[in-house]
Amino acid sequence: MTVTGTNLNGATAVDFGTTPGTITADSSTSVTATSPAGTGTVDVTVATPTGVSPPVAADQFAFGSQP
């Protein structure tokens, strides 16, 4: 999945709920990540050297859904 936003350069983690995903690419405006296995709907957060994004409903991920 691709997470878009601002100030994402140097992303160190993308978490799907409490489970970490795998970052495969990042830039200042996007992070591409692979989700772990899971079920349900979870908040997605991104950690960068300047902090962690807050969980918001618009950033939720539903396991098993297709883009």
User: CA 57, 59, 64, 67 torsion: positive or negative?
Assistant: positive
pLDDT value at position 66?
Answer: 55
Domain that includes residue 11, residue range: 2-62
**Global pTM value:** 0.85
**pLDDT for res 25:** 86
Question: Tokens in use for 47?
Answer: 């950690």
Residue 67 belongs to some domain of the structure: no
- For 1, the token pair is 């999945």
- What's the structural domain count of the chain? 1
Low-confidence residues of the chain, pLDDT below 70?
65-67
pLDDT value at residue 64: 82
